[in-house]
Chain A
Amino acid sequence: DADVTQTPRNRITKTGKRIMLECSQTKGHDRMYWYRQDPGLGLQLIYYSFDVKDINKGEISDGYSVSRQAQAKFSLSLESAIPNQTALYFCATSDSTTGTSGGAGNEQFFGPGTRLTVL
């Protein structure tokens, strides 16, 4: 089973609709992130959470909200979707206590992505 899962994998919706993207992880990591990826722009951080009671805005949080329902679950909502939110969305996790460099590395583990199209 995948360590980081995202649902749905693909979604087509209309302008103005409310959309929720969900992310679950079985890695036991405390930190979770939401990114969007657009061609030529790379990965941009939307929101991140370092534990269940911690939520922080990233570079491009306008038009998005998040909820950290449990350590293993982090959902992203688009309250009123617009066409320029069409993108590939990734959830990622990291562990603040371990890493390849003994804790300082915090490499991130990504989910398979959700392709969202807003018409």
Chain B
Amino acid sequence: SQKIEQNSEALNIQEGKTATLTCNYTNYSPAYLQWYRQDPGRGPVFLLLIRENEKEKRKERLKVTFDTTLKQSLFHITASQPADSATYLCALRGGATNKLIFGTGTLLAVQP
């Protein structure tokens, strides 16, 4: 069956460190993968998109990698800040489908 997996356990890190979140998928061949941030009680906000032919994408302190062989995307936040604390969702779109399939998200807590 098709599955997207994100670490369900919260990730706790110290301010200033790099946070790394993982998104693994099975039985998909996504044309691209997206990352969203969600704060409690709010709608997700789009952060980054990476295509299947791209290895890495950066935006300010954010970096996303996409390994279609490992079927994995890594999401990095460098020099993390308490304001980065939120749930981060990965979402992928496969082939001809125009639907986004979301992972369950990983809660990141950055301690001051």
Q: Which A residues form the contact surface with B (CB < 8 A)?
A: 4, 31, 35, 40-45, 48, 50, 58, 88, 90, 92, 99-101, 104-113, 115
Contact = CB atoms under 8 A, between A and B. Distances in A.
Contact of A107 (B46, B89, B98): B46
Interface stretch (B10-18, B36-44, B68-76, B77-85): B36-44
B104 A40 contact: yes
Interface residues of B, number: 23
Nearest to B104: A42
Nearest to B93: A106
Interface of B: 8, 31-32, 34, 41-46, 49, 51, 89, 91, 93, 98-105
A98 to B, nearest CB: 13
Contacts of A42: 89, 102-105
Contacts of A108: 44, 46, 100
A108 B31 CA distance: 16
Given A40-B8, A43-B89, A101-B32, A110 B102 contact: no
